[in-house]
Chains A and B, each alone.
Chain A
Amino acid sequence: MRVSKLRTILMAGAVALLGGAGARPALAQALQVAVDASPAGLDPHIITAFASFQIVNGTIYESLTSVDKDLRVVPGLAESWAVSPDGKTYTFKLRSGVTFHNGAPMQAADVVASLERVRSKDIASPLASRLAAVDAITAADDATVTLTLKEPSAPLLAGLSSIAVVPRGFLADKDGLQRQPVGTGPFKFKEWQPNGFIDLTRHEGYWTKGEPKVESVRFNIVPESATRQVGVASGQYAILPNIDAATALQLKGRPNVQLAQTLELAYSLIGFNTSKPPFDNAKVRQAVSFALNRKEIIDAALFGSGVPGGPISPALTAWAVNVDRFPCYKTDPAKAKALIAEAGVPAPIKATMLVLPRQDIKDMAQVVQQQLKSVGIDLELKIPELGQFIQDWRNSNFDVFASTNAGAVDPDDYLYRTFRSGGSTNVFKYANPEVDKLLDEGRVSTQPEARKAAYDRVQTILACDGPAAFLAYGQLFSAVRNGVKEFEIMPNRSLGSLARTTAAGR
């Protein structure tokens, strides 16, 4: 009896071993990706967090236009488009042979429904501002969509790249796509085990023939940074996408692990409340900029992996003004003190700085605190929990804050809502008529040179006189196992290149 039981156990073990060995080749086809945070939801029109965005953007969902790795707008689900001479009518020709994951063909009606959904007050999509200029959306036929604008809109095409096309029928449905996303992308949603993983499988009817190259992608949710590092070093995970400098530094030089990097669109900043003293005074804000040593901040908080920048990411080479042209970027404590004296505010200046509870921002805040102390600005750091931070930030309940801002492919998108008076994320309560006028110009002008001139001027004003001291643009890293090919890191953190990625072995 006892012997037979033992034998059964041994056999079960052997079967399990064999089963494990047999399953290997199939596993090789599943691309194991490790991400740090569980997404709150996957509805592309509702999500705001990177944790959600990186799982759906370009993988499950696609948009009319797309952005390549040099941040240029290229065709997406629209294979071409035409703009009327007055810049107020856009006609999109849809790609043929595109199907949704539910098998239905993608047609103009779906595109119209998706854009209407984003505009709907009921859905309250954070992307709605990207369609602010749109007056009407119509389907001329099954393969043609026409957007009529109230006024010309230069950033429209870039803005469309972030608006996913979903099947019609979700117009009034706020919850359906959060757990069961349906798109046209190379991968379709399969399973979500909360806190465990999200599985995507190959979309057989994908319109680019031969893609995706792998059978499936598994996003493992691994909150602990050390665990992710070990996982990629040992080969359990093939890709750690969008990791920070601290994690990347620890993986540098590990055998079989490569690091890919790019300059981020997102940046760190110190924001001022311009509705109350002392930071309502532009001289005090300038003094802060003169007091800062951005190189020191980058060395201390980003391990040297970053560059100083102005309001627009240096990654956007066509738009960004070189920081050498901003006078206040030259560290000059004497000048800072002189400006504070000139401003006539009582010294020393005492203020509270609200700090985003994220490691690199907390580190930066401490360096900034030290640097400003030397010119007579005493900052008390307040590092609340995330929910509290968002609430205080949203309600402009701060003297100064340290945080990060996502940036965007077209300068209009976030410059307008962040720095235009009355802009939806203008928590600084900043109002500068000249900036307003320039931002309005940049928005409606369709002349690239005129836009460039307007945004150059905006950047110069904002850099020194504006409501924020722009600190740094960090390097964004991805760790990739040897044998994983064609994975590309994107400045906007999209993982769309997973469609072309191949993995040899483990």
Chain B
Amino acid sequence: MPLKLLRVRLMDLVIVLFGVSVITFLLIRLVPGDAVAIMLGANTEVTPDRIAELRARIGLDQPMPVQYVHWISGVLRGDLGNSLWTGRPVAAEIGQHIWPTLQLATLSLVLGAGLAVPLGVLMARLRGGVWDSAMQMGSVVGLTIPSFWLGIMMILTLSAFAPELQMLGYVPFFEDPLGNLSRLVLPAVALALPILASLARVVRSAMLDALQQDYVRTARAKGVPERLILFKHALRNALIPFVTNVGILTGYLLGGAIVVEQVFAVPGLGRLLLGAIAERNYPLLQATILVVTFVFVLVNFVVDLLYAFIDPRVGS
């Protein structure tokens, strides 16, 4: 089973990455104002000759298909190119910015998904009651609050109550673990809330569905304790839609990180991406999006593997 799945998934990965590489390549070039124009800014001392020379240096004088082939063949050889502005290898720039984002995304995912399961089960258990309705309402609020607004509100509130708390910027975990966590906890919460809300709803409805099933009735008839019915029989079956949604939400997480990093001044991939767009830093932008896409597809691949683990019928 896993071998065939692996092959199919690998093909998917290649196709998706190819599509994304073409789309990002074209999109950023369709935006008016190329890298050279932005690099020169309001500098009017520059002669047209020099502009042409700069464009040639970056390769912008070539036809677009040639530029694409040149770039993608480099990527296939493992060379992501150099940043147009700093001249540093793109791989190094991404390597420097990826850790805050990965840490932030993992932290919010653990927080959101970890709390969603017990919360969803609780909501299913209390179905129809006042508490269930209250939590349902709460989850709608959680889903609709934009992360950036929540982030700013949290900063404002906390700065009033705990002005000593270092909550802006980023320090690497191994340099200062406490400082690292105190700076990441707010952005992680801001990112996790919508995940928590949406996943708790998924778990609730999947649980309700599972609790209607024959095997639950049979278990009840056998006299299996309610706790076991909930967590062993029903929950395990309710986990499939949960896991699927975790995979999809990874996409949201990586997108949301862009906004949240901006608010909390975290130097992560999101900031790198925004900067690359503003500067028309083509190689940097293209590579960053490829990496993000790769992570997204990879997570969903892991999700597929998890199906087989949760439900033995899958793939057999």
**Residues in A lying within 8 Å of B, measured CB to CB:** 12-13, 16-17, 19-20, 38, 40-41, 48-49, 121, 124-129, 175, 178-179, 193-197, 220-224, 226-227, 230-231, 233-236, 384-391, 393-394, 417, 424-425
Contact = CB atoms under 8 A, between A and B. Distances in A.
A40 B268 CA distance: 17
Contacts of A13: 178
A394 B44 contact: yes
Given A178-B86, A224-B263, A425-B44, A387 B32 contact: yes
A38 B43 CA distance: 19
Interface stretch (B133-141, B200-208, B271-279, B287-295): B271-279
B170 A194 contact: no
A58 B265 CA distance: 26
A148 B301 CA distance: 71
Contact of A195 (B46, B179, B275, B280): B275
A227 B263 contact: yes
Contact of B166 (A16, A41, A127, A236): A236
Contacts of A425: 42, 44
Nearest to B100: A196
A196 B97 CA distance: 10
Given A19-B176, A178-B86, A194-B86, A424 B267 contact: no
Nearest to A127: B45
A346 B236 CA distance: 77
B58 to A, nearest CB: 14
Nearest to B264: A227
Contacts of B87: 175, 178-179
Contacts of A234: 159, 163-165
A56 to B, nearest CB: 16
B245 interface: no
A230 B159 CA distance: 7
B31 A126 contact: no
Nearest to A405: B42
Interface string B199-233: 00000000000000000000000000000000000
A198 to B, nearest CB: 12
B33 A222 contact: no
Contacts of A390: 33, 37-38, 41-42
A49 B178 contact: no
B39 interface: yes
A193 B279 CA distance: 17
Given A226-B155, A384-B32, 4 more contacts: A126-B45, A129-B45, A223-B265, A425-B44
A227 B168 contact: yes
Contacts of A386: 33, 38, 278
B306 interface: no
Nearest to B265: A222
A425 to B, nearest CB: 5
Interface residues of B, number: 50
Given A49-B41, A124-B47, A233 B159 contact: yes
B43 A194 contact: no
Nearest to B274: A223
B273 to A, nearest CB: 10
A210 B37 CA distance: 43
Contacts of B152: 224, 226-227
A227 B42 CA distance: 29
B44 A424 contact: yes
Nearest to A231: B168
B34 interface: yes
Contacts of A227: 152, 155, 168, 263-265
Chain B interface, >50% SS class: loop
B305 to A, nearest CB: 30
A224 B265 contact: yes
19 contacts: A19-B178, A124-B50, A129-B45, A178-B87, A179-B86, A194-B86, A196-B170, A220-B168, A223-B271, A224-B265, A226-B152, A227-B265, A231-B168, A234-B159, A386-B278, A387-B32, A387-B37, A390-B41, A425-B44
Contacts of A40: 39, 85, 279
B176 A16 contact: yes
Contacts of B178: 13, 16-17, 19-20
A125 B45 contact: yes
A454 B34 CA distance: 41
A193 B267 contact: yes
B262 interface: yes
Contacts of A222: 168-169, 265
A355 B241 CA distance: 49
B21 to A, nearest CB: 23
Contacts of B156: 226, 230
B93 interface: yes
Nearest to B51: A124
A195 B45 contact: no
A48 B42 contact: yes
Nearest to A193: B267
A236 B37 contact: no
Given A20-B176, A223-B262, A235-B163, A391 B33 contact: yes
A390 B44 CA distance: 11
A220 B265 contact: yes
A129 to B, nearest CB: 7
Interface string B144-176: 000000001001100100011111111000001
A49 B38 CA distance: 11
Nearest to B88: A179
Contacts of B96: 193-194
Contact of A196 (B165, B169, B179): B169
Nearest to A196: B267
Contact of A391 (B37, B86, B163, B179): B37
Contacts of A19: 176, 178
Nearest to A13: B178
Q: Which of B32, B165, B168 gathers the greatest number of chain A CB atoms within 10 Å? A: B168
A312 B280 CA distance: 35
Given A197-B169, A223-B265, A425-B44, A385 B271 contact: no
Given A126-B43, A196-B170, A234-B159, A387 B34 contact: yes
Nearest to A47: B41
A40 B165 CA distance: 31
A391 B275 CA distance: 19
A195 B97 contact: yes
B177 A16 contact: yes
Contacts of B40: 48
A195 B272 contact: yes
Contacts of A127: 45
Given A16-B178, A20-B179, A222-B168, A194 B93 contact: yes
Contacts of A128: 45
Contact of A385 (B32, B43, B164): B32
Q: Which of B42, B85, B96, B176 gathers the greatest number of chain A CB atoms within 10 Å? A: B42
A309 B170 CA distance: 43
B20 to A, nearest CB: 22
